Structures are given as structure tokens and as C-alpha cells.
Structure 1
Amino acid sequence: MNPKYDECLEACIECLKACNTCFDACLREDDIKMMAGCIQLDRACADACAFAIQAMTTNSPFVKEICRLCADICESCARECAKHEHEHCKKCAEACLKCAEACRMRSL
């Protein structure tokens, strides 16, 4: 594994955890229909982070493209989570923005 990915890997791992936590908490909210977009993007973002982690830890020749896609998905998830007042959504949005920034740096 290439040490130049350390910061991005850490951000992806934290984002994946935050998205999974948010996903689980959203499923338990009273108005689950209102949370549908958040739930969907939490899942997509966690999956993208897992894919980026895999790409970085295997030195994939497509790591830049995968990190760029991960950043785009993280930004979408952050925008959706920011629409909600729940603490889990706020934490998820913050983790997603941090991950998007780290992934953008890896995609250059």
C-alpha cells in the first residue's frame, strides 16, 4: 500500500462509518419517507468509500478516477444530509465533506 494514500484512506474509513451510522439511524426516524434520499445516498456513499479504500490499498491503476467519483458521491451525500437537523446527519455531512476534499487531492 502506498503511504501517500494515508490521509485519504483515513477520511474514507471515517466517512464509511458515518454513512453507515446515519443510514441505520435514518431507518429508525419517525418519518422514514422524509429520510429516503438520505438513506439512499448514505448507502451509495458508503459503497463508494469502500470501493476507494479497496482501490487505494491495492494500488489500482484507476485510483485517481475512483477517488474522483468517490468525492462526487460524498459531496452529494453531504448536501442531502445537510438538509436534515438530526445529529447523525450533521456528523455524516461533515465526514462526507472531509472525505470529498481528501479524495479530490488524490484524484489530481
Structure 2
Amino acid sequence: MAYVVTESCIKCKYTDCVDVCPVDCFREGPNFLVIDPDECIDCTLCVAECPVEAIYAEDDVPADQQHFIQINAELSQHRNWKPIVEKKDPLPDHDQWANVKGKTQYLDRNE
């Protein structure tokens, strides 16, 4: 079972989670992070680090966020989504987006 980044990360992209990942399983897109399910070792360290509570165990992903399991799997393999291993500043307008629901349409897949 892998961990999954869900909708709350979109347009925020806090990277606190990246700093604690022992296997560097995070991949970075323009306005979202994903976890490579083939690299994740289920250590749970990233969950507590996310200030917007965007990371869930695959079995615990809320019903309305289930599509993010597939999104993480797909985008973690996308050629433009590179590994991220060091913390960066969140997106400039992260505060405005942190509590917004229904952000899936804003996910920039960079395809």
C-alpha cells in the first residue's frame, strides 16, 4: 500500500513532506506533488508534515478523492514530473488556495 497526495495539494504545493521522505518517492509538477507508488515504502512520515492534510494511505483516501490514486500513479511516471528531494517554498498564492475544495480542475499535468 502506498501513500497518495490528494486535491488539497493543488495550487499550494507545500514540500515539507519531501524533506522527511527516506526514499525520495515524491515527484513535482507545476502546481502539485505526487507520490510514486512503486517507490513509497509506507513509512507514514510525510503524512504529519503536510500542513493541508493532503496525504493519505491508499486505503484511507476519502471516497471523493479516490481518483487521486490513479493520478499519482500516472503522473509519477510522466516524463516532465521529476523527483523532488529538497524542500522549496510553496507556491506564491498558497494561502489563498489552502482551504479551497474542488480544485481538481486546476491540476496542471504539464503534458
Higher RCO (CA-CA < 8 Å; seq separation 6+):
2
TM-score by length of 2: 0.27
TM-score by length of 1: 0.28
The structure with more radius of gyration: 1
The structure with the greater share of residues assigned to strand is 2
The structure with the greater share of residues assigned to helix is 1
